[in-house]
Structure 1
Amino acid sequence: MNENELKKQTNIVKSTVYKMIDVEKIKPNPFQPRHIFDEERLVELSESIKKSGIYQPLVLRQPIKAIERFEIIAGERRYRASVLAGLEKVPAIIRDFTDEATMEAAIIENLQREDLSPLEEAEAYQSLMKELNLTQAQVSERLGKSRPYIANYLRLLGLPTRVKEMLQGGQISMGQARTLLALKQQDQLEKLAHRTIREGLTVRQLESIVNQANLDEEKRANRKNHHQNKSPFVREIENQLGERLGTKAAVITKSKQKGKIEISYDSMKELDRILEVLNISLD
């Protein structure tokens, strides 16, 4: 992000100073959305810095008090690599930022690099909304991304903790994570995520499984509602049939005069037992 872009985004930069700063006087930005820094790439960058120095200065926030350290607005990866390289001082642009500008600049700088993980990106959008009191539409407008795009990322924050770890670790993709979120039985979500990894399910295969599971759940809910709406007389018949047959029985009424009885069994052995209770012989 260049200075003009940064000013346009925040509109609250008060002053700018360029100087060499002791690395010991620098601290990370608490609003940094990036949680994971590739160690191998950091080492590569540190080796490059040892040989050629830092071509792009860090952007730091001017401390409010003399005893405080400079806060990184942009360039934490270069800062970490500089520490690895053993540098004592690094080039920096010092700016006088408010808390709001610091957070927004850090988040936008990382989002524009486009290498945040899906969860880090989702948390960045959430931070903008929470800390700056913005709506999804306002975040969308500031970042030049569609509102559905922002909403799809924010939905990832509703995943169970273990599934978030799978997404963060690259075991499942964002497309798979979004498909899992469509599952109505949320208590089965983590189990299906494990199955996705174990069987190597594609997004399309996962969509089919989720759709079927949701259809089964809808049927189960309809049966439950239908049962709850039955008269005490019909429910009593079901209870007595169930006790007599030793299995689940349902009386389904189609009208005042018509209906049907459904008897459930889980195996051929159980069916034989039910037929014996009913004195039905197939010999």
Structure 2
Amino acid sequence: MADKKRGLGRGLSALMSDVDLNARAPAEQARPDTHLPIEKVQPNPDQPRRSFDKDQLEELARSIEARGIVQPIVVRPAPGAAGIYQIVAGERRWRAAQIAQLHEVPVVVRDFNDLEVLEIAIIENVQRADLNPIEEGLGYRQLLDKFGHTQEQLAESLGKSRSHIANVMRLLQLPDGVQDLVKDGKLSSGHARALITSDNAQALAQKVVAQGLSVRETERLAKTVSAPQPKQTRQGGSEKDADTKALENDLSAGLGMNVEIQHKPGTEAGALTIRYRSLDELDGLCRLLSAT
């Protein structure tokens, strides 16, 4: 049984030094550099990065045609597929090599487990700013959901602030259409965060893009549209305090769902509401609650 307190894998510095081809890897972890037929190499299905810029790939392909692949692709034996190797780091090079019509690619073979492969894929992309905010948030969620990591562990190991990780993961609460605008670069993270609590985020996002609104203008727009919908306060209760709002944000980021806290004035009682957008999200919440 895996130790939940072990941090990320066997240490991100150790993992990344394995990927660093200038570092010396222990003999039992590394095999000699070799070349593999390109059809024997396949991408990692859990790779958090889903989109690759076509122009950048073609530019890299031209460089490969002129100079070859300078840095080998890091791979591991594909689980359950004899003679096939799965990419750990370097999928862009592999894709560009296909465009350049290479028949084989240089590789370094490592014996990484599933957790280490996922961690390296996320770290490699996040540290190189290669992920869009939605892909970054999905990567963080994978580490949290699949392997029981906490936001504090991620923040410490990735060199990110906890608030950054929480804010990125909050974007996953947005409707798919709004997330697509963020993926395509039509909507910034700041714009998107301003729309998270809106009931009609999709329509507002389209308006923001069409009118080229700033983040501040987007925030004002979201507040104006939401204003006619009064909060369910009792007996003229005051607006939520900053601590309650911060707790709502933390819970929303941790669960990946919208969480609302309604405290009954003058008492210690209240209600906590979790809103899910699909049965899959409800199933995930049930699994999480059952595991505690």
Count of aligned residue pairs for this structure pair: 220
Q: Which residue of 2 aligns with 1:107?
A: 122
Give the number of the structure whose residues are more often helix, by fraction: 1
2:30 to 10, 13, 16: 16
**Bigger mean CA deviation after superposition, 46-55 or 190-199:** 190-199
**In 2, Cα distance between the equivalents of 1:115 and 1:29?**
16
**Pair member with larger Rg:** 1
CA contact (8 A) 1:47 1:85 kept: yes
Kindly state the Cα deviation for residue 189 of structure 1 after the two structures are TM-superposed. Answer: 1.6
Q: Which residue of 1 aligns with 2:56?
A: 41
**In 1, Cα distance between the equivalents of 2:194 and 2:89?**
34
Q: Which runs of structure 2 are paired with 1:214-229 in the superposition (5 Å)? A: 214-218=226-230
**In 1, Cα distance between the equivalents of 2:16 and 2:179?**
33
Q: Which runs of structure 2 are paired with 1:88-99 in the superposition (5 Å)? A: 88-99=103-114
**In 2, Cα distance between the equivalents of 1:102 and 1:71?**
9
Q: Deviations 1:10-68 (Å, cap 9, x if unpaired)?
A: x9995112111111110001121111111111111111111111111100013455624
Question: % of aligned pairs identical?
Answer: 39
TM-score by structure 2 length? 0.69
Kindly state the Cα deviation for residue 167 of structure 1 after the two structures are TM-superposed. Answer: 1.4
Distance 1:13 1:132, change over 3 A: farther
Kindly state the Cα deviation for residue 7 of structure 1 after the two structures are TM-superposed. Answer: 4.9
2:160 is aligned with 1:128: no
CA contact (8 A) 2:77 2:83 kept: no
Q: Over aligned residue pairs, what C-alpha RMSD do you find?
A: 2.8
Distance 1:100 1:196, change over 3 A: same
| 2:68 counterpart letter in structure 1 | G
2:158 to 104, 129, 143: 143
Kindly state the Cα deviation for residue 152 of structure 1 after the two structures are TM-superposed. Answer: 0.2
CA contact (8 A) 1:12 1:98 kept: no
Partner-residue secondary structure (3-state), 1:198: helix
2:98 is aligned with 1:86: no
Q: Deviations 1:202-248 (Å, cap 9, x if unpaired)?
A: 111111122233333227x56xx77xxxxxxxxxxxxxxxxxxxxxx
Q: Which residue of 1 aligns with 2:71?
A: 56
Q: Which runs of structure 2 are paired with 1:205-244 in the superposition (5 Å)? A: 205-218=217-230
CA contact (8 A) 1:7 1:13 kept: no
2:213 is aligned with 1:198: no
Gaps of 5+ in 1: 227-283
Gaps of 5+ in 2: 1-11, 20-24, 236-292
